[in-house]
Every structure is written in structure tokens, then in C-alpha cells.
Amino acid sequence: MHKLFLLAGSISGMLSVMIGAFGAHALKATLEAHNRLETFETAVKYQFYHSLALLALGALMLHFQHKSFTISGYGFIAGILVFSGSLYVLSLTGITKFGAITPLGGLALILGWASLAWGIYKSI
């Protein structure tokens, strides 16, 4: 499992830099015109933070094993996809219905952190 989370964190981190740069340069005027730049930046920021969390989790799993770590990794991946993904779609399309699923992504991220904390408590 650690390899999956290390790969997912690496790829997601790379994508967050690419998406952030694309937004800052190619999409900035469009996003600003529709007051969606801040939403887009929030999506990039959360994706990047949780990419780093996946990398830390993968490294932790090299030394400690607990089923909570696996739950944590999947929570982070689901949270990145749903939270950041819904904000990207909202920012680019203006379809506000996508904002309704954003909290589900936030819950997945919270689950990831809670599972990580529990796994650390039980392993170390």
C-alpha cells in the first residue's frame, strides 16, 4: 500500500503545480472575471497539502503498519478528487451544483487525518 500512496502523492503533487501554474497564467483573467480565482486557488492549495500528506503517509508505512493508515490514504485520495475536483469544475464552469459535493470531499480529508492520527497512536 505504501507504494500506491507514494505514487499518488507524487503524481498529485506534480498535477497541483501544473494546474496551479495553468490557473495563474492561462486562466487568471477568466477566473478573475467570474470571481472564481480564490476558489481555484483553494482547490490547488488543498490538493498540494494532501499530496504532501500522502507522501508522508507512504514513508510512515515503510516503518509501521496499521489498517488505519490504508483508510487514511484512501481518504486523502478521495478527498483530493472530490474536494479539489469539485472546486476545479465549479471554478471553470460556473455550475454551482458541483459545490454541493465539495463538503463530502472535505469529510474524506477529515477521515484521512483522523485515521492517520489513530494509526499513529496505535503504532508508535
The ranges assigned to domains in the chain are: 2-123
Asked if 48 contacts 16 with a C-beta cutoff of 8 angstroms, the reply is: yes
Q: Write out the three cell numbers for 63.
A: 516503518
Q: Which of 63, 80, 90, 62 lies closest to 16 in space, CA to CA?
A: 80
pLDDT in tens, 1-13: 899 999 999 999 9
Tell me, what's the pLDDT at 87?
97
16 CA to centre of own chain: 9
Model confidence, pTM: 0.96
Tell me, what's the pLDDT at 6?
98
